[in-house]
Each structure stands twice: as C-alpha cells, then as structure tokens.
Structure 1
C-alpha cells in the first residue's frame, strides 16, 4: 500500500510531496528547509530513495540538491533543464522503482517551462497519483510566461496539450497533486479547493474543456505581474543552492537598529499590523510574520539589501528565517526581540499611525476632509471595481513610486488589510500622514462609498446592504 504526504509552504502557496511504500520513498519538488522532509520520512520509517524535480523553479529555492546529498538519494531532474550540478537527467517515459510494486513514471509536460515533467505514481501497474508540478493544477494550469516573453504563447499552447495528455493517459480516479496553485503566483489563476482528480479536472479545467485558441487567449489575458524576486530563483536553482543556515542571527540593540536605518538598510517589524500601527521604530516597515511574509518582502525589497528583523520572541524570528530562506533571503543582518521599547534609544520617539474602516473613510469624505484614497490591490482586483476618485499603485510598485502619491492624508486600502498595512508602513517611513484601512473591501459599498467600473468609468450598482 502506498502513501502520499503533502508538505505545505503556505506563505508561498506551494506543496512538496513525500510518497512511497513500506520501505522507501520519493520526494517531489522539495522545499529549501529539508529538515521537514527528513523528519516526515523518519516518522514513516522510510528511506528517501529518490529526490525529483518537476522543473527548475521560478518561485522558490529548492532543497533538492542538498536533500539528495544528505540522504544519499538519486536526484532526478528533467533532461532539458540546464543545470550546473550532477544529477540523473530524466526524459519522457523514464521510470524508477520506488518500492515493491511501486513505480514512478516521467511524463513530459512542457508549458510552465519548456522542460517541465510530471510524474505518475503507479502501484502494481495502475496509476495511483499524478505529481503535476506546474502543469495541471486545481481548476487551472501553471503560468507560461516565467521563462522568456517570446515563448509565452508557444508555452501556453504546450500547456494545453500537456494537460490533455495527462487526462488521456490517466484514469479519472487518479489524484492530481500539483506543486503550485494554493496561492502561488506561479499559477495562471488561483485554484479553488484543496484536492482534485483527473476526472474532476476533465469536467472543470479550462485546458480540458476549451479549444486551444480560446484557452490561450484567456490565459494570456489573465496574466499579472511576476514577483520581482522570481528573477533570482531560476538562476539560483540552476546553479545549485547552497546548504541553508538557520542559526539565530546577530542580536541588534537600539543603537545598531538606528545605524542600519541610517545606512538605508531595511528594518522589518514582524509584529501584527495592529501592534505596529500603535507603536513602531520610525523608518521600519511592517510585514506581518503570520501573513505572506516571504512573498511580499522578497517582492518589494531591493535584492541583496540587508534586512534586520524585529519580533516579540526568538521563535518568531526563527519562523521568519525559515520562510525567507525559501526565497533566497538567507541570512538576516541582525535581529531584535523582546520589549519594543528597547528597540529605540533614549530620547528618540516611536512612530504610529491610525487604523480605520471603510465606514470611517466615508465619514471623512462626508466631512470634506482632504483625503487621498490609495488602492494597492493588483490590477485584476481593481478591475472588479474601485472607490471613486481613488489612486491606484499596486503594492509591489509602491516603494519606487511613493513620490506619485498626491499630497494630503493618505487612506490606504487593499482587499483585507495586510497589504494596506505594508503600504502604510512604507509611506509612514517617508513622513507621510497615513491611515491604514483595515477592513474587507466588500465593506466599502456597505459604508456608502461609490465604486466605479474601470471598463465604463461609471458607478457600479449599490450593494443590497446599501439600498
């Protein structure tokens, strides 16, 4: 009897897998922090016989090379991938025996990358599970635009053919186990649900229900900006990532924090947005440790810029380190924990800014206050409607465009509050008068704010709550 265990990297929206039988297992698309994988294999008392990559990843640093080294496993990488380290090149149809009666078969599935390869786990000759990487996802497919712009349409067409090949070769009850699609920006659209099968995808996935031209047109129209740090991930994975170091970073006192800020380095406060708004080190930025820390910090920070982490406890620093190494931010320059009052020198003043809800914004507008409404959502979110008169700068562009924000008190919002808190901290660090709207966007119309459609530039109908 086989088993499959998923190892989630929730902040990045990805999954890795440990699969095997009674004695041996294979690891598919392992995370950078391989101790999680080793612990999972130890709990099941199985030997890691193979480490497998579906492709050279663009959204995280793999732990595959290091896991293969420390476990003695054979490292399988698609033959078409250009890498600088020794590995076993895998071509279409390549098979390996994982355990008694358990075989892993490679299926060439170009589209997400030219060399992308999915793997079918077969028990006693019958398909049991499909590890589809960035090919067939839950309700969608991996985006085809991460390799080279000139190849995007070609790869989109290949993605359509690859999804259909998987559907043709595998039975309806075969479980589909993708790496991307749980919040990852490697997905061409966000997946709905946690599990799926070939049969379910056959009924609902655009790649399997639409002709190739319609599918390609839809997928190309829906592509959004790529996180900036993706440009670093592919080369790092192709070169062969170094072993990670999760030892505690050097301790920073108030003087060092001040010096690092003065040098233009990033000081990142991992506390909740509520705590940060009430009290923080002037000039520091707020990326909640419990939010999508790795995605947004890696996206916004100038690559290679030293970062100092601030948190309540050493455990919170350790958790953040683990998330950040997954995207190549390997060593914080320093860290401070404990009482936030100790993070500033005697005589210095902490900073703060107010939080509000959309109802407060509506009241401010009714009073005639001089307010600037800044929308930091993505283009696709704004396309569904935006607050009339608002300024739009997506969060990932804001750090380089703060000078474009009009004068006045800036009320910044996103869809739920997390990105608004990041944006508010960026603006606050420049000395702007800012209010962080910590509210669900659905509450905007309920508060009486007028939403406008970008397609018509006309007000949208009021929500039932507003009528």
Structure 2
C-alpha cells in the first residue's frame, strides 16, 4: 500500500506532496517552511528518505535543501539545473527506491518546457505507475508557462511542453493520478486550473496540450500568457544558490515613534489587517496588504526588492502567519513589527488616516452626480473581458510607478473582487489622493447600471492578415487598415513586412502612443510568434482601438512565403 498526502500552499497557489509506504516517504517540491512536511511525516510515522525537486522554482523559495539537511534524506535535483550545493543529480530514466518493502519507487521522466531541465517523477508500486508528480509540466487542464527562463527560449520551451505532455500521456496508464505543483492560483501556470484532481485519462480528453496540434497549441499558449510577478526574477537564483534556513523568530517590536521614523525614511510600513479595518483607520502613509489575501504574491510583486518592511498586525498570530508567508518568497526578516491597532501605532496628537469604501451601485450613483475618475487595477487579460467605459486602466503591479498618470479628481478604484482595490486605495491614499475603494465583485458593475464594454481583441490567421493589409497576391490594402509590428528593434531590422509600422510592445506597455498616421485606423498586430502581439492587441483594444493579432506571428507569415524585407528594403529574415 502507498499514500500521497497533499500539502497545500494556498497563498502561492501551489501544492507540495509527501508520498510513501509504511516506513519511508519522499517529499516533492517542498515549501520554504518545512515544518509542515516534517509534521505530515510524523503523523504517518514514516522517515523522509528522499526530497525531490521537479525544477528550480521561479515562484517561491524551496525548502528542499533544508528539509534534506534536517532529515538526512537524499536531495534529488534535475542534473541540468545549475546549483551551488551538493545534491543527487537526476537524469531521464533514473530510479530511486522510496519504500522497498512496499515495492514503491520513483522513476524520473525528463519533461522540459516549464524550464529546460524540468523533470517529472512517476511513483510506481511493484512496477506499475500509480501517480506522477508533474511539477510545472502537465497541470489540471493546462501546463506550466514556458516564458519564465529567457524570452528567446519561450517558443522552443512551449513546443517542448507539448512534447512532454504527449510523452507522459503515451507512457502512463489512463488511471495514473496527475499531481502537479502549480495551477492552483500560481502565476507559474499558463492559465488557472479548474478542479482539484485529475488523471492522465482525463487530461487526454481535455488538456489543450493533448488535444491540439503543436502549432495551434503553441500559438494559443503564448497568446494567453499573463503578467509575470516582478519578484520571480529573484527566485530561481535563490534556489540555485541554496536557500538559507528559515528564521521565524519574532521581529523587533516598533513603537509609534519608530514607525513614524521608518515611514519618514522611505521604508515600507505594511498593515496586515483587513481592508475594511484599514479603510476605517490606519497610519497615514502605510500600505494595506491583507494577511488573509494573497499577501506573499502581491507584496513581493510590488515592493522594491530588498526594501525594508515593517509589519503592522492586529495580533501576534496574524504577524506569525504573515512572516511565514513572506519567507516563502524570500522576504525573510521584517525590519520591525507591531501589533494592536492605529491607536497603538500613532504618536500623541496624530490622527489616523481613512478613506471611504463603496460598491459599484454607489459608483453608478456618484457618476450620475458628476465626473469622477474610475481606476481599473485588474490585469490586461481581465480587462479584455469587459471594462467600465471611460475608466482608466493601470494594473495594480504598475500603479506605484504610474501614480502621476491617474487623472485629477476623486478616484474610485476597483479590481475584480476588492482585494487589489484595497491595496491600490492604500497606495493612492499614501500619495495624498482622494480615493474611494470599490469593495465589490466586478460582476455587479453592469447590474448597477454602469456601462460595461466587452471588446476583446480579434484574431486573424497570417493569410487573412496579409489579405487585409494588401500583402497577399492580388490583394489591395484597405486605406483604414495598418499592419503594426510590435517586436523589438533588432528583430524588425532583420526582417518585417513591407509597409508595416513599428512600435515595440515595450513602448506600448510604458504608455507610449501610436504614430499619428496610425490613429483611427484598424490595426493588424504582429510579433514573432503570436505572444506579444496578442498582449499588444488587448492593450490597444482596452484603449479603444480596433485591433486583431496575427496567430503565429511573422513566423507563420514567413512560412506562407509572404514578403519580408530588412531595414535596407532588401530580402529579410525571421529568426
């Protein structure tokens, strides 16, 4: 007999696993705080004999090295992962006994895609596959995203994901349980999973990686990729270096004077209480990241990396919880902390800051009485599905650096459900703006009488795009249609469609405007393979433009033999 225990890391949208028999077990992709894994082993009465990593993680700091040290377990890491510590390098086909008496073993299967070195592990009982730990390879209804390593590798890794999914499906029985690490809210997933369990057979019937041909799968996968949290860039290096043991001892306590001094010094003071409590009263200048929300993801995403942070909590338990969550993303030691409420954190004579909260019905009523600024802080992918007309769009992770772009006047800020609006409201309040936090589901906006536009960017095959823009044989370009190339300059110089207008995606994301000759014309947006153009088209549609993106990008264009020229007007190439 065997067991598999799931260890939920809900704040990051991940899972870790403990699997084994009567005596020994293996831990898979453990979180930074390893006590819960050790506790799970103690409840089972087993010894952890192996700790395995499916890959060097990009979304959290691993506890694998520390867990192996504490338990004396072998630490298995893919051989292709460059690390600075001793480990057992794993290659395709390697086997490791988990519990010999119960006939349990792990078999390594190379599944590149999420990372070049990604490895899945098949749990076998007496030689029969019973489960597969797929990390960031095959997820529930989707796959791990392939764009976290290096932009130049993204399409190659997307194709590898398709091949890896097919390898698992071909080699494993339909009843094999699929146990991924990502896909439960983690931004490491290319899209979010629906459901909590699956098998190889179920994925064969529903997963795009197993139901689409490779070109269609890659085009759709790349077009649907969401924003990457800024802190991800620090996770893989930390994991490669070997994370230090976690220090969860209480931080130094700060009194009201020290809190004020830290604010004056430009440090971050983060209030962990609910957004309702924060709106009612808080230390002016502090920011609100609810401990009960996705604290680690959003604080690590928004805070300048390495910035000193002081935590304000309503209780010692809330502080301990937040401290544990933050260590998982490399925010190890708060500079200071305090518990209680605003009356404990303010100096004599100081008054707490506050701002009102409202619903979409309140916003609709306020709009009827005059102009207000409506600020949407959802991601581009969310806004593409519908937005309040005349609203300003600045995603929450960009807001701190774009506060000057928020128009004058009272700001009603909303997201999809209220949590991110609370964060945004605290940022605006700290900047001295008159703000109202819309604490409501976006689904209520239209019901409240607000006009919600639903203009998703369309899509066009390369042949259709060529016909619309006059590049296909016998086609005549319409005067109101322009081909917009959003690749980087070096790509454009090497090869582009004749007559195309060049505006890099990076310029659009920075708020740059289109050339005057493009204004008011329909846009056919193209990049190299379809990822950036999809993102650019959604950005442009959200700004009111008529835009479609080209499926497969300039690579699909080139495969059709459509014209490509370089910067000199001579025959060009598409990498």
Short-chain TM bin: over 0.9
Q: Distance in 1 between matches of 2:314 and 2:364?
A: 35
Q: 1: CA distance between counterparts of 2:160 and 2:426?
A: 42
Contact residue 12 and residue 294 of structure 2 kept, 8 A: yes
> 1:200 maps to what in 2?
202
Query: 1:218 maps to what in 2?
Result: 220
Query: C-alpha displacement at 1:432, in angstroms?
Result: 0.1
Indicate the residue corresponding to 1:463 in structure 2. Answer: none
The 1-side partners of 2:136 and 2:353 are apart by 43
CA distance in 2, matches of 1:234, 1:263: 31
| Mapping for residues 81-160 of structure 1, pairs under 5 Å | 81-99=81-99, 100=101, 101-160=103-162
CA offsets, 1:104-143, max 9 Å, x none?
Answer: 0000000000000000000011111000000000000000
Matches of 2:140 and 2:341, distance apart in 1: 44
Q: Who is 2:395 aligned against?
A: 394
- Within 5 Å, which residues of 2 pair with 1:20-419? 20-99=20-99, 100=101, 101-368=103-370, 370-419=371-420
| Mapped partners of 1:153, 1:328: distance in 2 | 29
Q: Are 1:436 and 2:432 matched, yes or no?
A: no
Conserved? CA contact 2:291–2:318, under 8 Å:
yes
Residue 475 of structure 2 is matched in structure 1 by: none
Runs of at least 5 residues in structure 2 that lack an aligned partner in the other structure = 458-540, 543-575
CA contact (8 A) 2:342 2:352 kept: no
Give SS of 2:305's match: coil
Distance in 2 (alpha carbons) for counterparts of 1:455 and 1:140: 22
Report what 2:517 is aligned to: none
- What is the rounded CA distance, in whole Å, between the counterparts of 1:122 and 1:36 in structure 2? 25
Report the counterpart of residue 18 of structure 1 in structure 2: 18
Instruction: Report which structure shows greater RCO (CA 8 Å, sep ≥6).
Output: 1
> Quick one: distance in 2 between partners of 1:454 and 1:252?
50
- The structure with the largest alpha-carbon Rg is 2
Deviation, structure 1 residue 455: 3.9
Aligned residues: CA RMSD: 1.2
Aligned counterparts of 2:340 and 2:259: Cα–Cα separation in 1: 14
TM-score, structure 2 as length reference = 0.79
SS in 1 for 2:96: strand
8 Å CA contact 2:385–2:456 kept in 1: the answer is no
SS in structure 2 of the partner of residue 411 of structure 1: strand
* SS of equivalent to 1:259: helix
Q: What SS does the corresponding residue of 2:291 show, helix, strand or coil?
A: coil
Separation of aligned partners in 2, 1:384 and 1:107: 38
Runs of 4+ in 1 over 2 A off after TM superposition: 453-458
User: Secondary structure of 2:344's partner?
Assistant: helix
Equivalents in 2 of 1:193, 1:403: separation in Å? 41
Query: Aligned ranges for residues 417-456 of structure 1 at < 5 Å?
Result: 417-455=418-456
User: Structure 2 CA distance, aligned partners of 1:111 and 1:7?
Assistant: 24
1:413 to partner: Cα distance: 0.1
d(CA) in 2 for partners of 1:378 and 1:235?
Answer: 27
- 1:464 maps to none
Distance in 1, matches of 2:208 and 2:346, equals 54
Distance, in Å, in 1 between the alignment partners of 2:104 and 2:187 is: 33
> By how many angstroms is 1:224 displaced?
1.6
Say which SS state the counterpart of residue 25 (structure 2) adopts.
strand
Q: How many angstroms apart in 2 are the aligned matches of 1:77 and 1:220?
A: 28
- 1:349 aligns to what SS in structure 2? coil
Contact 2:425-2:435 within 8 A present in 1 as well: yes
Could you give the per-residue CA deviations for residues 34-57 of structure 1, whole angstroms, max 9, x where no partner exists? Answer: 011111101111000000000000
Kindly provide the CA deviation profile for residues 278-307 of structure 1, in whole angstroms up to 9, marking residues without a partner as x.
Answer: 000000000000000000000000000000
For the residues of structure 2 that align with 1:155 and 1:328, how far apart are their CA atoms? 26
Q: CA deviation at 1:340?
A: 2.6
Cα distance in 2 between the residues matched to 1:312 and 1:365:
36
* Shift, 1:385, TM fit: 0.9
C-alpha distance in structure 2 between counterparts of 1:249 and 1:194, whole Å = 36
Cα offset, 1:454, TM superposition = 3.6
Cα distance, 1:415 vs. partner? 0.3
CA distance in 2, matches of 1:361, 1:157: 46
Q: How many residues align?
A: 459
Report the Cα offset of residue 265 of structure 1: 0.4
Matched position secondary structure for 2:198? coil
1:392-445 Cα shifts (integer Å, max 9, x gaps): 000000011111100000000000000000000000000000000000001000
Report Cα offsets for 1:193-226 as digits up to 9, x if no partner: 0000001000000000000000000000011211
* 1:349 Cα deviation after fit: 1.4
Cα distance in 1, alignment partners of residues 228 and 236 from structure 2: 13
Any idea what SS the aligned residue of 2:51 has? strand
